[in-house]
Amino acid sequence: MVSGFRLFYQATDIEKAQHYHAVLSLRGVQVELCVTEQLNARFLRLNPELGLCVDASGLWLCANGMKMRPDWQAEIPRLKRASLKSEMLARACQLSEKPSLLDATAGLGHDSLLMAHLGATVQLVERNPILFSLLEDAHRQAQQDTYLQATASRIQLVFSDSACYLQQLKQQDQSIDVVYLDPMFPQRDQNQQAIKKQAQVKKQMQLLHLLLPEDGEMDLGDELLALARQVAKRVVVKRPRHAIFLADQMPDHQWLGDACRFDAYFSKD
């Protein structure tokens, strides 16, 4: 049970607030409904603790004077520029073959959106009930967007712990073409010690870090690699260009960019 979240709303949005309250309660989140006269920038500054808010456009995560949610509509310009040839991610995941793909580290879903746009059928797995609800809201809005409808139809949201879900696939003797891993906190030094990011992260990532502290542990995704390799023909890991290998396992192939790289591990079968 996740506790201690307040959900702010204006009186005109009471039905939306009650809907999200019910949804989050079913997912184990204890939420206190709090009505306010105005849900504006000043209100957010005066209520800096991590919480949720609802307005006419849907559900938001808020803290420290900011609010955020996965904004898939904002990704449309990127999608319009993207092609199988221009995207390093597309080559790493062999999107030209329209694979079945499992994104085991969902984040804000932007990479999954791109991969679905370029032809993959994507399962987007997220265990955090609040982030999952935010992704669900983004998916719903994408289904109503003329440009994003076809892409959204190729994305299935799965509310599950990725490790458990991969184990379940193995037990059911199911395979998948590609498992994609983009750990939330990927940077470590060569002595396996967590290092601090030098540059301030974007607003969206600041709030995600508040939501997903992993009880003080860095979520490096190491345990997922071994599980993914048991069910996938190909595992693709997104890393900062100079980061060490995930779980210290050398990949079978790499695609290198200026700021990041994609490490690929191929099935031996």
CATH number of the domain within which 139 lies: 3.40.50.150
Which of 17-26, 55-64, 220-229 is least confident? Answer: 220-229
pLDDT digits (tens, 9 = 90+) for 94-106: 999 999 999 999 9
Strand segments (E) across 194-256: 232-240, 253-256
Asked whether 159 and 135 are in contact (CB, 8 A), the reply is: no
Q: Which residues line the annotated binding site?
A: 126-127, 182
Give the mean pLDDT of 57-80.
95
Of 20-24, 33-37, 211-215, the poorest mean pLDDT is in 211-215
Q: Which residues are annotated as a binding site for S-adenosyl-L-methionine?
A: 126-127, 182
Residue-level pLDDT at 223: 87
Asked whether the predicted pLDDT for residue 213 surpasses 70, the reply is no
Q: Is the pLDDT of residue 35 over 90?
A: yes
79: left (phi over 0), alpha (psi -120 to 50) or beta: alpha
Q: Are residues 61 and 110 in the same domain?
A: no
- If asked whether residues 153 and 36 sit together in one domain, one would say no
Is the pLDDT at 160 greater than 80, yes or no? yes
- Beta carbons of 137 and 58 less than 8 angstroms apart: yes
CA distance 238 to 165: 20
Average of pLDDT values for 153-159?
Answer: 98
Greater pLDDT, 177 or 186: 177
Sign of CA dihedral 236, 242, 248, 250: positive
The whole-number pLDDT of residue 214 equals: 55
> Do both 185 and 112 map to the same domain?
yes
9 contacts: CB under 8 Å, gap ≥ 6? 16, 17, 33, 34, 35, 36, 39, 53, 54, 55
Closest C-alpha among 112, 199, 193, 187 to residue 148:
112
219-258 per-position pLDDT tens digit: 557 889 999 999 999 999 999 999 999 999 999 999 999 9
In this structure, are 25 and 153 located in the same domain?
Answer: no
Range of the domain at 116: 72-266
Q: Which residues of 113-130 are buried (b: 16+ CB within 10 A; e: fewer)?
A: bbbbbbbbbbbbbbbbbb
**Pick from 37, 68, 99: which residue ends a domain?**
68
Q: What is the pLDDT of residue 2?
A: 62
Asked whether residue 39 falls in the same domain as residue 81, the answer is no
Cβ-Cβ contacts under 8 Å for 46 (sequence gap 6 or more): none
Residues 93 and 120 in one domain: yes
pLDDT at 261 exceeding the cut of 70: yes
Q: CB–CB of 27/132 below 8 Å?
A: yes
